[in-house]
Amino acid sequence: MVRVNVLTPWYPDADLGHMYSGIFVHQQVKALQNKGIDVSVEVPKRHKHYVKEIPRGLFTEIENLAFQNPESFFRYSHGASYVPYLTTARASMVEQVSSMERALALKRKAMPTCSDINHVHVALPIAPALNRISSDPMIITEHSSHVIKDCQTPDVAEMYRQTIEAASSFICVSSFLQKQISETLNMQIGPKWKVVPNIVDFDLFPFRKRSVNRCRSWIYVGALYESKGVAKLLKTFQHFKSYSDSDATLTLIGKGPLQQWITRYANKHGISNSVTIREPKFQKDIADCFCEADLMVHLSPFETFGLVSLEAIASGLPVVSLNNGGSEETWAELSNLCGLHLEVDSSFDEISMEISAWRDSNIELNIAEASKELRKRFSAESVYTQLSEIYTSVVK
């Protein structure tokens, strides 16, 4: 039986309030375990020290603590071991890699890890650090668009190139992200470059048929960041409520730096009674929220995959999304069955009017057919089959 050690900076941890973070990694781990694969999980966690340089004595203290009580130092929770690593607050990516290398080496001395394959989800800074201390085959799955920004720094780009070259397989969750990384690093897509999508757990999102496309109760699930299109979402909703449906409501499930701005914007424009912000929730609770909604609206201009939109479709909920890469690859060709797919440069008032016209056109959707097709592509069985082939080729 192959033994896989998964390393990821994102993993659900209810104790820390992280119910949705890294859920796609957790789903992949479950899929492997359900097939009898021996999987361990390590989650490096960065701890920032607000000084210009970490005192050397502090690292000595950390090592002493780790060896004295490794089970306490490397906390085990919800199926994962947490590996703390210390950096200055403004540490560069290269500095983070060095700190990560020290932490992972310490973990292996204090609590040895036995595996046939290391599978890293989100390459930086874990993969280059691991590559320096382990000779086991390494597979990388890249989920994050942040790598495009990180690799604008030449030394980080070169480190990333070297890590890809050292890996036994380099997986991206979409061909869109794969192309972006290839162009950013000026690397050709070779035989070891693969595309394996995230798993969509359709069983957690029971399908509910909707007889009328009302578009009245909007929902958004995700981080409350500008990069996720949240500001455009609020402006679009205000326009729609003002010109198309005064009874419209918007529920945002998530947290982030725009939370106070959302509250101020809603108060200023007289829509505070129609806008609700809820804390992040477990997937089963999000499924209940989907049942109460008429429409998922997600206006992020850039997505590497777009898991939440697929979960909404699985629930029978129509989706409005921009042509943001991830949606283009996963469900755009099914949009006539399950939603509205708009150009990235669409303005908030254009989006509002598009939604209004779409609602009034009385289009008969067939979300059940779209959900059936998506289940074939993104089920645990489908993703496991693809991963199994990669693992087998690596450990031959």
* Residue 200, both tokens: 């969509």
> What percent of the chain has a predicted confidence (pLDDT) above 70?
98
C-alpha distance across the termini of the chain, in Å:
13
Rg from Cα positions in the chain: 22
229: left (phi over 0), alpha (psi -120 to 50) or beta: left
Which residue type does 191 have?
P
Q: Tell me, what's the pLDDT at 119?
A: 98
Q: Does 16 have pLDDT greater than 70? A: no
Identify each DSSP E strand in the chain by its residue range: 3-7, 38-49, 76-77, 80-88, 117-121, 138-142, 169-172, 193-195, 217-221, 249-253, 275-278, 295-298, 319-322, 339-342
Q: Greatest CA span in the chain, whole angstroms?
A: 69
Q: How far is CA 70 from CA 7, 57, 103, 109, 114, in A?
A: 18, 19, 12, 10, 16
Q: Does 66 have pLDDT greater than 90? A: yes
In degrees, to the nearest 5, what angle opens at C-alpha 346 toward C-alphas 345 and 351?
Answer: 155
Q: From CA 326, how far away is CA 161, in angstroms rounded? A: 23
Q: Tell me, what's the pLDDT at 40?
A: 96
pLDDT tier for residue 57 given thresholds of 50, 70 and 90: confident
CATH of the domain at 41: 3.40.50.2000
Same domain, 224 and 117: no
Q: Does 125 have pLDDT greater than 90? A: yes
Q: Tell me, what's the pLDDT at 211?
A: 77
pLDDT tier for residue 14 given thresholds of 50, 70 and 90: low
Same domain, 195 and 248: no
Span 343-362, average pLDDT: 95
Span 368-395, average pLDDT: 95
Same domain, 254 and 294: yes
Identify each DSSP E strand in 308-393 by its residue range: 319-322, 339-342
Q: Tell me, what's the pLDDT at 18?
A: 64
Q: Tell me, what's the pLDDT at 363?
A: 79
Span 183-189, average pLDDT: 96
- Say which range, 17-31, 124-138, 191-205, 326-340, has the weakest mean pLDDT: 17-31
Yes or no: say if 370 and 350 are a contact pair by the CB < 8 Å rule: no
Q: Tell me, what's the pLDDT at 396?
A: 72
Q: Tell me, what's the pLDDT at 69?
A: 95
> What per-residue string of b and e applies to 180-189 under the rule 16 or more CB within 10 Å gives b?
bbbebbebee
Please list the residues that pair with 38 across neighbouring strands.
3
Quote the number of domains for the chain.
2
Same domain, 243 and 367: yes
Q: Tell me, what's the pLDDT at 17?
A: 60
Same domain, 240 and 106: no
Same domain, 191 and 208: no
Span 248-261, average pLDDT: 96
Q: Parallel, antiparallel, or unpaired: how do β-strands 38-49 and 138-142 relate?
A: unpaired
Q: Parallel, antiparallel, or unpaired: how do β-strands 76-77 and 80-88 relate?
A: antiparallel
- Say which range, 94-103, 120-129, 325-334, has the weakest mean pLDDT: 325-334
Domain range for 140 is 3-199+379-395
Q: Does 220 have pLDDT greater than 90? A: yes
Q: Does 1 have pLDDT greater than 90? A: no
Same domain, 386 and 331: no
In degrees, to the nearest 5, what angle opens at C-alpha 145 toward C-alphas 49 and 75?
Answer: 40
Same domain, 187 and 212: no
Span 60-79, average pLDDT: 93
Q: Does 204 have pLDDT greater than 80? A: yes
* Residue 297, both tokens: 């609206």
pLDDT in tens, 260-301: 999 999 999 999 999 999 998 888 899 999 999 999 999 999
Same domain, 76 and 148: yes
Q: Does 13 have pLDDT greater than 70? A: yes
pLDDT tier for residue 122 given thresholds of 50, 70 and 90: very high
Q: Tell me, what's the pLDDT at 52?
A: 84
Q: How far is CA 213 from CA 179, 290, 317, 356, in A?
A: 36, 14, 10, 11
Q: From CA 34, how far away is CA 57, in angstroms rounded? A: 44
Task: Give the three-class secondary structure for 143.
Answer: coil
Neighbours of 48 (CB within 10 A): 11
Same domain, 54 and 141: yes
Span 219-229, average pLDDT: 95
Same domain, 20 and 153: yes
Same domain, 154 and 216: no
